[in-house]
Structure formats: structure tokens, C-alpha cells
Chains A and B, each alone.
Chain A
């Protein structure tokens, strides 16, 4: 990773729209040929970051570096990046062929070259034979593919994707995720992907950049982000987590929920207060006498693959995913392996997340449906 070449570097980028700070000192290096995802809730600045790379927006201050050259102020039509827009932005007055050929015609390529490239591109996105179709007759998924073909026909060094799958239904979205990965590997170009869907980010990316409030919260591989979240925001945003107040007694020993646990973390001060993350799938339900912690089951949901149960332990509601059946009112014990415990430094997000006492399925789904973003 370390010796990889950076194709794009963003240095100390600040952007505000009026009073509102959209990007707050953003620093990001994008490696050549990687699939990197900017992930975060609405208004976190991820689309703004993309628009700065694309040249649609100027940063108030900071440097945008592309292949070791500063490109602040270079207009988008002179940049070697192409974009796939949120709602595709296909040209309604042109058919599929002409849409894909648009950039090539601007470059004044010869007609037979254009034909070859367009044919190749439509083949790459599985739209052979769609040349003469008008845009309005295409389904969302097909329009999506035309948008991809149109962007990569120009052989960009970097492809920017602004929530391209947000408008597709679940099944199609899954297919397109694989498809985009395949295209990225096949072409060997850098993809910068923006999404608010954490699952999408984890499945597709080489690296994930978790953003919130105009700041980067964590950069890392999907595994790093999931297993070693840096703060309570990341732990909560990526997957489900129980986040508890704890104290680091010494290296490899932590205390939380009134019990001393062995863990694998070190490098904290003695008796430093910390946030402790335990993923719901890492907790074992055992009988009360064998449990490290004891509590009462307050809710049980059957989700097919597993049960999602809420256990009240001294007022803190734990979420646990288990294949063992439990019933509301059961007294159970919890058993937690040392490697299931992850310790984080305290941050501005401490205490905001990770307790499931106000948890409701509906709220969770509502916060998922926010495709609109922070542009303009």
C-alpha cells in the first residue's frame, strides 16, 4: 500500500456554502487503479469531494493534485476524469450510440474509430444491439449502463461515480455492484465511488473513506473499517454495534458493564476511559451461570438467518444476533471472546451511539433512504 503511486491528492480542502461548512480540512490521497469509496450520511461532504475532483466546484482553499500537478481552476472539460452522475444525465435528444459517442465527437475522432469504440463500450456493458434505441425507451438499469459506457469511452484515468446505484432496485443494484467491479478490474482505472450505503461500500471497495460533517473519520480496507473502527461514529455507521463506556485497566484488560474482560488491545494509558465496541454477531448466549454478563431479553425478532434479540444488562440494551431461540423475559448470560472486543479512544461521538434502547427497525430503514445529497 505505502509505495503505491497517488493519482489524486486533496490537500487541506475547505468548502463552505454560505455559513455551512461542507468540507472542513479534507486530506485524501487516492492511489492509482484502486476502487475507493467515499461513504457517509447525507450532507457529509462526499458528493462535494467528488465535484471538486471532477472540476464542477472550486474549493475555497486547499490544493487538488492530479498526477503531481496542481489542477485547481482547471475546468472540467480539460480534466482526465469522467463522471457518472446521480441521475445519469444522459442526453435525451441523442440515441444510445450518440450518447456514448458524445465525448469522442468532441475530440473529433474519425467516424470509423468512433464506431469501433462505441461498439466495444456497449459490448463491455452488455448492451450490444442497443445503438439505435432512444434514451427514453431504456429501463433504469440500461440507462445506468449507457452512462457507464459514455464515461469510459473517453478512456479516463479516473472514473467518478456519484451514487450511481441509488435509483436501482435491490436485485439490480447487487448485479450492478459486481458489474462495476468487473469493469474496474478489466479497464484497470481508478474508481472513486460515492455512496451512503455501507454494505455497498464494504462489498465493492479496495479502500473505504468514512466521512461525516465534512471530515474524514477513517480510511481503510473494508475489513479495517468493520473490525477496527476508529470512533463511535464509524462503529455505528458501519454495521450494528454495541458501544459501551469502559476503562482500560492495563494492556489487554478492559472493564465495562461491571465486569473485567480480556481483550487484544493495548497502547492505552492505565485506567484511560475508552469506548468499547462489541458486534452483535460476536456475542454468545449462554446460561446465566456461565455468563460473564447477565440480563433479561426484552425483544426478539426473527430475521431468517438469525434472531436479533435485545438484552437489557443493567439498563444498557445490547443487540445480539444469534441462531439460538430465546423468548422475551428469559434471563440469559452473555459470553464474549477476547477477540470480539474492540477498544476505541474517546471522541466527539462518544455516548451518542451504540445503545439499542431507542432502537426501532423503522427508524433504521428511514435513515437509509436518503439518496439526495449535499450538492449545492
Chain B
């Protein structure tokens, strides 16, 4: 660490400058606002206010947990199925999974409105069948659907990567030792893909818990999530910056704790994030 060559310093310099300007400085600014009042005087008053946002915190965590579980349940079999295909088909499916990620997240969320709206695609179809419309948009279900849809690639990719690293000879060895296909999944594939699962859970849970926008557009602003609360406060005016920063700080610490707990579960020495 301490004996870096001049060359490697030069190469690393832009990154360090970048990290300082866009990560460290904003964090310090955020901390400054969190620990001061509207006049810039040191104060812990903001922290006494957060009780008002208990519900938003609880709801965010609850939605994020539900979304993460659904994402995991969908992604794991998908990733397993992918590893069984020909390499060319695997690449094809990867492309299809990545494709929506190239589009803006806001546009993707917006497109769900046209599908779920009261006069949207699904309801038009139900009308056509004579079943009658369903309330789809502006429900908690729609919010969770939005989260699952937006973040599922972050679950599939690390699990798929972990699974495709499993040497086929290990599966043959398990079979040789009497394991049928179910037993092979339970005894070999599941434990060896665990690092990918942990990574996927972290990568879906973190953006889900801090998401805003999705709940506004698909949830109809009925239940405010913590991300929405922060956005709302910042948009309302400068005298709310302090309380908004405090909420951000607490959210960040919560996420940090969750990540640390998740990393505990994987005994893999390698970096978990793919």
C-alpha cells in the first residue's frame, strides 16, 4: 500500500479526485447539514424530529424486504435454468436481461403506468374479456412490482455468475456419490452459489429501501417512503435541508448495517459485490 509506484499514483489520481469531489465532499456537506440548524449552528435538534418519519422508514424497509424476497424467488430458478443452456443461449438471455437497464430508470417506471393504469393495457384487455377493471395502479402491489422489475437484473447477474463458476466435475462427483438432481442442488449448487445470492440481496435491497419516484408514480403517493420524504423535503425549501440530511444520514447508516450483516453470511473471502 505505502510503496506505490509513481505510475500507479498517476493512474489512480483522476479516480481519487473524482471520489473526493463527488463522494467525500457531498457526504461531509450532508453531515454538516444533519448536525446544524437552519442558521448553521451546531444542533442535534434534527435527530429529535425523526420520530415523525417512523412510518416512512418502516414502510420502506417492509417494501424493500418483500421486493427482495420476490426478486430472489424469481431470479434463483432463472439463473439455474440459464446455466443449463447452451453458451449461445445463455448470452442471448443475458442480453435480454441487460437490455432494459440501458433505458432510463424513470422511463421504465413510467411505462408501467401505461400498463397498470385504470385505462391501461391490462384493464383494457380485462374490459374486452368482460371481466371488468381492477385497481392496479396506486396500490402497494404496483410499488413492489416496480421495484422487482427495476432491480431484478442485479439479482440474476450475481447468482448466475456464481452458478456458472461451479465446476461441472463437482456435480458429477456429487452424482457419483449418490446424489440425484434435487440433492445436487441442495448439497452443492445452493451452498456454492450463496455468495452470489448474498451479493444479489444486497444489490436489490439497498436501492429498494432508498427508492423514491417508483412509489410516487406507481403507488399514487398514498404511502410515503423514506426516499420520497427526503426528496419532498429537499424540494420544499432550504430550511428543510437539515432534516432531509439527517434522514439521509440515518438511511445510509441503516443500509451500511444491513450490508455488513449480509456480508457476514458469506464466508467467501473474495469480494462479494460482482
Contact = CB atoms under 8 A, between A and B. Distances in A.
B49 interface: no
Interface residues of A, number: 25
A76 B175 contact: yes
Interface in B164-188: 167, 169-170, 172-180, 183, 187-188
Given A91-B188, A92-B192, A76 B176 contact: yes
B178 A85 contact: no
A217 interface: no
A213 interface: no
A85 B177 contact: no
Contact of B179 (A89, A92, A106): A106
Nearest to A375: B169
Given A93-B191, A102-B187, A85 B169 contact: yes
Nearest to B178: A106
Contacts of B169: 85-87, 89
A154 interface: yes
Interface string A307-327: 000000000000000000000
Contact of A83 (B170, B176, B179): B176
B161 to A, nearest CB: 16
Interface string A149-172: 011001000000000000000000
Contact of B177 (A55, A87, A150): A150
Nearest to A94: B191
Given A76-B172, A102-B174, A93 B179 contact: no
Given A91-B188, A93-B191, A103 B177 contact: yes
Interface string A70-111: 000001110001110111011111000000001101110000
A93 B186 CA distance: 13
B168 to A, nearest CB: 9
B270 to A, nearest CB: 12
Contacts, number: 57
A81 to B, nearest CB: 8
A105 B177 CA distance: 10
Contact of B172 (A85, A102, A106): A85
A54 interface: yes
Nearest to B184: A77
Interface string A42-64: 00000000000011100000000
Given A56-B172, A93-B192, A102 B167 contact: no
Interface string A345-367: 00000000000000000000000
Contacts of A82: 176-177
Nearest to A106: B178
A83 B188 CA distance: 17
A107 B178 contact: yes
Nearest to A93: B191
B272 to A, nearest CB: 15
Nearest to B166: A92
Contacts of A107: 178
16 contacts: A56-B176, A76-B172, A76-B176, A77-B176, A81-B176, A83-B172, A85-B173, A86-B169, A89-B172, A90-B173, A91-B174, A103-B177, A103-B178, A106-B178, A106-B187, A150-B177
5 nearest interchain CB pairs? A103-B177, A89-B173, A89-B169, A106-B178, A93-B191
